[in-house]
Amino acid sequence: MNGQILERSVVLASGGLDSTVTAAIARRDGYALHLLTVAYQQRHAVEVERSRQVATALKADQHVVIDVDLRAIGGSALTGDMSVPKHRTEFERNRDVPVTYVPGRNLVFLSLAAAHAEVLNASIIYFGANVIDYSGYPDCRQEFIQAVEATLQVGTKAGMQGKGIEIRAPLLRMTKAEIIKLGLTLNVPFHLTHSCYDPIGSIACGQCDSCLIRKRGFEEAGVVDPIQYAVC
């Protein structure tokens, strides 16, 4: 980049497929990458380790991991004692808010990203939300993202000074196959990404909603998924 100073972006990076493609998009768009990972005591904590590997692979300018103990609140299969459902159909996944929904999670994540953006004087947050695969999650929808942007406009120092913080969710309406194809063109290190809600060690279970969606995405994209699954 010829020593040019790039504008900073904060990227919410979970170590998953979508957020890694999102980080690659932020780089393509010409921003410096300040990755932010929230370690929320999730069942699939291997994500956090993968986020570190992704940050290294993408040569991120900074990677901050914040600990937030959402297990203290519970209310989700990802942080509490409920079990993660397996082998559900698309119809079942979209019927209602799934037990893998973590109350308030994306708002907590975006709040932390906004705080980080304020400190860095960054005016953009990249957020890998997707409404196609997660239509049952209220906090993956466009109207939610717009409401958070409006909140940041009135509730941050940056907003008070007339400089808003944009939340860019480039994957919002893309199918998993489209996301994967785009990721390929951006050399996303898919082999490092982790999607499974209920891994055995670091191996994806192959049966939870997130594994099923990922596997079908690779199939539809006509590409081999480079990660290992316990059950294919």
Nearest Cα residue to 159 out of 126, 116, 114, 112? 114
CB 176 within 8 A of CB 133: yes
Neighbouring residues of 157: CB distance < 8 A, sequence distance ≥ 6: 118
Q: In which element (H, E) is residue 96 found?
A: none
CB of 146 to a copy of itself, least distance (A): 8
Q: Which two tokens stand for residue 230?
A: 């316990």
Give backbone dihedrals phi and psi of 72, rounded to 5 degrees, phi first: -60, -25
CB 204 within 8 A of CB 195: yes
Residue 152 or 169: the one with the smaller Cβ distance to a copy of itself is 152
CB of 190 to a copy of itself, least distance (A): 28
Residue 20 or 106: the one with the smaller Cβ distance to a copy of itself is 106
Residue 96 or 222: the one with the smaller Cβ distance to a copy of itself is 96
Residue 159 or 217: the one with the smaller Cβ distance to a copy of itself is 159
CB of 104 to a copy of itself, least distance (A): 3
CB of 162 to a copy of itself, least distance (A): 12
Q: Which residues bind a copy of itself (CB under 8 A)?
A: 64-70, 72-75, 97, 101-108, 111-112, 114-116, 118-119, 138-139, 141, 143-144, 147-148, 150-157, 159-160
CB of 18 to a copy of itself, least distance (A): 18
Residue 82 or 223: the one with the smaller Cβ distance to a copy of itself is 82
Neighbouring residues of 109: CB distance < 8 A, sequence distance ≥ 6: 12, 38, 127
